[in-house]
Amino acid sequence: MSDQQPLPPTPAPALDLKNIQGDILSGLPKKTETFYFFEITDVTGFRTNLRDFVPVIKTVAQTLKDREAIDKHKKESGHGGHKPPTIPLVGVNIAFSHLGFAKLGIDDTKLVDTAFLSGQRQDAQTLGDKGTLDGDKFVPDWDAPFKQDIHGVFVVAGDSHVTVDRKVQLIEQRFKVGTPTASISKIVSIVGDVRPGDQDGHEHFGYLDGVSNPAIIGFDKNPPPGPAPVRPGVLLLGQDGDEDKDGRDPWMADGSFLVFRQLFQNVPEFDEFVNTNRLQLPGLSAKEGADLFGARLVGRWKSGAPIDLTPFFDDPELADDPLRNNNFHFTAERDFQKLCPFAAHIRKTLPRADLEDLGFSIENRRIARRGIQFGPELTRAEKQQKKTLLGRGLLFVSYQSSIVNGFQFIQQSWANNANFPFGEQTPETPGLDPIIGQSGDAPRGLMSGVNPNTPATTVDLKDVWVIPRGGEYFFSPSIKALRET
Ligand code: HEM
């Protein structure tokens, strides 16, 4: 179970990297990213415009080259050169909702996924979002653009607003937006930015994000020790590991479902909660006690170091070491929550040995996360008033070959389920995921395991600090499929 050594290299890729959109397997490199949500207004015009646009779409093969160029540039600028901090690289991907396929007259029923086919607005109650009933219809408390019918999204990621904005302009020209022959109209565009300075890579609560993503057999050549690499079909339709592989239409192969969620984060209120509940343990300063309490909510310290491996003090060196920072399995503590609470965000969303030791596979629950932050840094007024005055949070993006098995399952059956991980291993109810667990209008209840010395101690998660205010389910097709649309 515990693999201390790096795994042997996996076989050469059998994947057609020129046929897969870049964000899925390698993530489009980004300092900033625009999500351009659109409605198709002229089907014939759209098909023509899209066929002409396909060469602009960045594939995995091209994304890997971009990443090499960025690495090379970083090395060269690190040697005292006078180079600008980034190189002007940008990538565009495209994905469609079920309503988009319906508008285009494309039969997508063999995508099978019930969440995708119903759309995220219809799924919001299942996800635990707050909302109201209009007759027997649930209307989530979402922002206006996401209450409209969205047909598709362009994902435009790059090194700067200048390069990304230029690409967005190109999209608008090619699809003739705002002219009498327009084939799409813009619903909304949302801009995300990685955070500045030493917060680069950290989400708005301050924790390093993007540490643990599934390694893919045949694609990631030297997977670091940690959770087992997954078959490509966990992310890509039609590949080995896709549970519905045999029932697909050929055009669905090499595509992936893209989940988008706009999640607002109430940072001053979260900080206040962490500070109020800071752990008062011998030898810990007030700040260390607060840091420890926060780390127990997430399962990692702000540096990214996992508390399963360093339970009392942060260890930035461990955080920086890819051979160690994901190599833990929650195994040593099946009966307690001494190292990591069962409800901690990373344990809820990837329970590792909690399930594997009971004979369950976690492979088909893995998702590739590609989100980015949005909104400004905390202002002085917000810090003083301990109150959110400006909107900020995470533009959550995940890829998977099944939304039902992946994102939806993690959110509904794990994060929102106070009894998960289930079984005899804990006398205390774990509680909701304190970061993302949603309970609609009901109270979020108690979380146990907050104090490593007395794991039965609970805390009342009475507030919610991550608030979903919109989203949609999309399908990101292969390049061949886009050419044939
Ligand atoms: C990991 C924060 C939303 C699923 C993490 C990590 C952080 C984090 C700090 C640890 C770093 C890492 O392992 O990459 C947040 C915040 C969110 C959010 C602040 C909302 C604003 C979500 C959502 C899901 C999710 C909505 C899925 C339903 C995961 C998964 C991991 C993770 C699967 C990796 C677990 C592992 O492999 O160990 N998140 N997250 N997160 N998160 Fe989230």
- pLDDT for res 2: 37
- pLDDT for res 4: 45
Cα distances (angstroms) measured from residue 87 to each of 64, 75, 76, 80: 15, 13, 12, 16
- For the chain, what is the mean pLDDT? 93
State how far the Cα of 18 lies from the Cα of 266, in Å rounded to an integer. 40
Residues with Cβ within 6 A of ligand 1? 203, 205, 207, 209-212, 263, 265, 298, 300, 345-346, 349-350, 367, 369, 393-394, 396, 407, 410-411, 415, 435-436, 466
| 245, 246, 252, 258: CA torsion to nearest 10 | -30
Question: Residue 66 is which amino acid?
Answer: D
| Res. 13: pLDDT tops 60 | no
* Residues in a beta bridge with 156: 34, 92
pTM score of the predicted model = 0.96
- pLDDT for res 3: 42
| Res. 12: pLDDT tops 50 | no
Atom of ligand 1 nearest to the CA of 300: 10
Higher-confidence residue: 76 or 180? 180
| Res. 118: pLDDT tops 90 | yes
Q: What is the DSSP string of 44-86?
A: HHHHHHHHHHGGGBPBHHHHHHHHHHHHHHHHHHTTT----SS
Find the mean pLDDT for residues 340-352: 96
Find the mean pLDDT for residues 163-175: 98
CA nearest ligand 1 atom 37, residue: 212
Q: Catalytic pick from 66, 129, 209, 271? A: 209
- What is the sign, positive or negative, of the torsion defined by CA atoms of 47, 51, 52, 58? positive
pLDDT digits (tens, 9 = 90+) for 86-106: 788 999 999 999 999 999 999
State how far the Cα of 131 lies from the Cα of 108, in Å rounded to an integer. 29
State how far the Cα of 80 lies from the Cα of 254, in Å rounded to an integer. 42
- pLDDT for res 14: 81
Atom of ligand 1 nearest to the CA of 410: 28
On whether the CB atoms of residues 336 and 427 are closer than 8 A, the answer is no
Q: Burial of 112 by CB count in 10 Å (0-12 exposed, 13-18 middle, 19+ buried)?
A: middle
- pLDDT for res 55: 98
| 448, 450, 453, 455: CA torsion to nearest 10 | 10
CA nearest ligand 1 atom 4, residue: 349
Phi/psi for 137 (5° steps) reads -95, 130
- Locate 331 and state its tokens: 């195994």
Distance 345 CA to ligand 1 centre (A): 7
- pLDDT for res 74: 85
Phi/psi for 117 (5° steps) reads -70, -25
Structure ipTM over 0.85, yes or no: yes
Q: Is 141 a catalytic residue?
A: no
Percent pLDDT > 70 in the chain is 94
State how far the Cα of 125 lies from the Cα of 416, in Å rounded to an integer. 12
- pLDDT for res 86: 78
Atom of ligand 1 nearest to the CA of 202: 9
Find the mean pLDDT for residues 58-84: 84
pLDDT category of residue 314 using cuts at 50, 70 and 90: very high
- pLDDT for res 426: 65
Atom of ligand 1 nearest to the CA of 398: 27
- pLDDT for res 422: 75
Percent pLDDT > 90 in the chain is 87
Which residues lie closer than 8 Å to 372 by C-beta, 6 or more apart? 30, 32, 33, 157, 192, 193, 194, 394, 395, 397
| Res. 334: pLDDT tops 80 | no
pLDDT digits (tens, 9 = 90+) for 260-313: 999 999 999 999 999 999 999 999 999 999 999 999 999 999 999 999 999 999
- Locate 68 and state its tokens: 């090499």
Report which of 252, 253, 224, 225 is spatially closest to residue 14, judged by C-alpha positions: 253
CA nearest ligand 1 atom 23, residue: 436
- pLDDT for res 75: 84
Report which of 408, 460, 403 is spatially closest to residue 429, judged by C-alpha positions: 460
Q: Measure CA 251 to chain center.
A: 26
Which residues lie closer than 8 Å to 124 by C-beta, 6 or more apart? 131, 138, 140, 142, 468
pLDDT category of residue 78 using cuts at 50, 70 and 90: low
Of 76-80, 291-295, 432-436, the poorest mean pLDDT is in 76-80
Find the mean pLDDT for residues 396-404: 98
Find the mean pLDDT for residues 73-78: 82
Find the mean pLDDT for residues 209-228: 95
Of 234, 235, 349, best ligand 1 pocket probe by most atoms within 8 Å of the beta carbon: 349
Find the mean pLDDT for residues 379-405: 98
- Locate 345 and state its tokens: 């965000």
